[in-house]
Amino acid sequence: MAKKKYSDRSDLEKLQSQWNKISGLLLREEPSAAIMRCGTAAEIAANVAIRSAFDEESEFDAKTVDSFLIWANGLKGKMDHLVLPVCFSGSRSNKVYKHLAASAKIINDARNDVAHRGSFSSTSAATKVIAEAKSFITSLVLLYDPGFVLKEKKRK
């Protein structure tokens, strides 16, 4: 059976693909690239939450929601401009939101160090970011998909 094109996959399928790639990058001793993928995976998790919240709470069509996601630009933008107001009714004091926002900052800062400052990461630092990303992704997606499990790819 042929692999489904990435562009034809659902957000959850894209999220799992990104997660699979992270473990392979770490095995190939490419921790900086793994951190970049963590940022991408976290942003896709935010997309899942945002799309789900809009589906539940509004009558906006998918094209409009897509335009909001583009406008919010990046994990920080999505957290500040969409996840907070749409998923948490603007309540910065919500314990779940506080935890997610702190995790998102750690992930985004590490990603930005690699992407914008040209920093190289160690495997131990990347492993910490990966653990933070897993916690962030799982916590956020489970709010909208109670059966969600981020599967670890078995390597040969």
User: What's the domain range around 37?
Assistant: 11-142
Residue 10 scores a pLDDT above 60: yes
Is 35 a member of any domain? yes
The reply to whether 110 falls in a domain is: yes
- Would the pLDDT of 88 be above 90? yes
* Residue 109: inside a domain: yes
Supply the pTM of this predicted model.
Answer: 0.94
Confidence band (pLDDT; 50, 70, 90) for 2?
low
- 153 inside domain: no
Tell me what the pLDDT averaged over the chain comes to.
94
4 in a domain, yes or no?
no
Residue 154 is assigned to a structural domain of this protein:
no
Residue 61 resides in a domain: yes
Query: For the chain, what is the domain count?
Result: 1
Position of tokens 């940022």? 39
Provide the CATH number for the domain around residue 121. 1.20.120
Residue 118 lies in a domain: yes
- The residue with tokens 């998102």 is 104
